[in-house]
Structure 1
Amino acid sequence: MAEQAPFDPTVLPPDNSCPFCSIAQTYPPFPPEQPPASDSPTLDPFQLAPASFLVLSTPILMAFLDIMPLSHGHLLLCPRSHKPKLSDVSREEAAELGVYLRILSKALSRTTGVYDWNVVQNNGAAAAQVVNHVHYHLIPRPEIRANGKLRESFTMFGRGQREDLDDDEAIELAAKLRANIAAVLAEESHKGKL
């Protein structure tokens, strides 16, 4: 009996069905401090179907708008390499994910004007992970009581009604997010280290 090769989470699924791996293969990294212009072929969201609205693309990770957002600005952050669960990521990936969760949170709040948000990360089907590639959700949570919608249901962790992302709005939103990510990074580079 032939010995089975050990599981390697960096290898793409055999049928290349992982949509996040497709995004990683299609879009090259760019410096977050100086993102390409919105009309750059590097950022063409329609290179894939459904469209991918990239806001961050480093050699190690990427962030993009969720195609079925729970709220305006819903982002996904994941490593570029295929890792099914958080326990599969390398130390370097874990460190960069942690750094950019904070930076994306600041940029997302500035972009949307919403200063409350969830960071959600699911591991495995029983934990509501739909795409088998580790990822974090950053979900802005506007105050529904301020809108006079006291009966509006609160949707959490991917449950509830979701609508497709509007392509025209997404292009504009992604551009604003990239600009705010660059602004946050520029501000932090001037603060110095402790």
Structure 2
Amino acid sequence: MEARRLAILCSHLNPSSPYPTRDSILRAFDCTSGSSDDEKVESSNLQNDCVFCKIVRGESPCLKLYEDDMCLCILDTSPLIHGHSLIIPKLHYPTLEQTPPSVVAAMCSKVPLISNAIVKATDSDSFNLLVNNGAAAGQVIFHTHIHIIPRKERDCLWASESLRRQTLKLDKEASQLALRVREQLCRVPEEQLVQPSS
């Protein structure tokens, strides 16, 4: 598997041809690839009825943009805008707070690479990075995922862009909110606060 990863990395750094071959395009977008015994995702951490778990297992179609050992990026099947994509972990975690920090870090570490490619491919100016975490926040598929939404100037994608933001009032209410958040952070186990060494 390490040799495969190195070969993929080298092919991106020194492509043999400036134009992709038909086979390389089909491999890149075949969601059933990676089904060899050494690359199978542990099925005990996948849900039978979860659409993202079905995609990971190769049981549901998708247009794959990127894949590694921890996560994959696909085009959203109900995009807000052309190029709207999702980074999903290969193991099932219903919400962000249930996702191990190492998995969140792996997903987030791919954002610069993937978003840059999406922005260029869609001739966009920038992008939104979004996580809908929980039903009240608009999460529909309860398998952690990060939205990458390419944006163009004046695309008016969000209705809220026309709303004016209000300046934070540094009053008693804001101070109490900050205090309550800090109290919650003090209750977090020590091992969750330790930063991994680089």
Specify the SS of the correspondent of 1:55.
strand
Residue 154, structure 1, aligned to residue 157, structure 2: yes
Counterpart check, 1:128 vs 2:138:
yes
CA contact under 8 A between 1:73 and 1:112: conserved in structure 2?
yes
Number of residues of Structure 1 aligned to a counterpart in Structure 2: 117
Q: Is 2:23 aligned against 1:20?
A: no
Post-superposition Cα deviations, 1:111-162, rounded to whole Å, max 9, x if no partner, equal 11102211110111111000000001100112236xxxxxxx53369xxxxx
For 1:95, the equivalent position in structure 2 comes to 105
Alpha-carbon RMSD across the aligned residues, in angstroms, is 2.0
Query: For residue 119 of structure 1, what is the aligned residue in structure 2?
Result: 129
Question: 2:73–2:85: 8 Å Cα contact kept in structure 1?
Answer: yes
Structure 2 CA distance for aligned equivalents of residues 120 and 156 of structure 1: 16
Counterpart of 1:69 in structure 2 is: 79
Structure whose CA Rg is larger: 2
Distance in 2, Cα, partners of 1:156 & 1:103: 28
Amino acid at match of 1:58: D
Q: Distance in 2 between matches of 1:83 and 1:140?
A: 25
Deviation track 1:42-89 (CA, whole Å, cap 9, x = no partner) reads: xxxxx63xx300111111101100001111110000101000111122
Give the % identical residues.
Answer: 32
Unpaired segments ≥5 residues, structure 2: 1-43, 161-198
TM-score for both structures, normalised by structure 2? 0.54
Task: Flag structure 1 segments of 5+ consecutive residues without an equivalent.
Answer: 1-9, 27-46, 146-152, 158-194
SS at match of 2:65: strand
Question: Which among 45, 58, 61 is matched to residue 11 of structure 1?
Answer: 45
Structure 2 CA distance for aligned equivalents of residues 78 and 86 of structure 1: 11
Q: Distance in 1 between matches of 2:157 and 2:105?
A: 31
In 2, Cα distance between the equivalents of 1:96 and 1:115? 25
Larger helix share, 1 or 2: 2
* Counterpart Cα distance in 2 of 1:114 and 1:105: 10
Distance 1:79 1:133 in 2: 8
C-alpha distance in structure 1 between counterparts of 2:159 and 2:46, whole Å: 30
8 A contact 1:54–1:62 mirrored in 2: yes
Q: TM-score, normalised by structure 1?
A: 0.56
Q: Which residue does 1:35 correspond to in 2?
A: none
User: Highest relative contact order (Cα 8 Å, sep 6+), 1 or 2?
Assistant: 1
Q: Is the 8 A contact 2:86 2:146 kept in 1?
A: yes
Distance (Å, rounded) in 2 between the aligned partners of 1:156 and 1:52: 29
Aligned residue for 2:148, secondary structure, equals strand
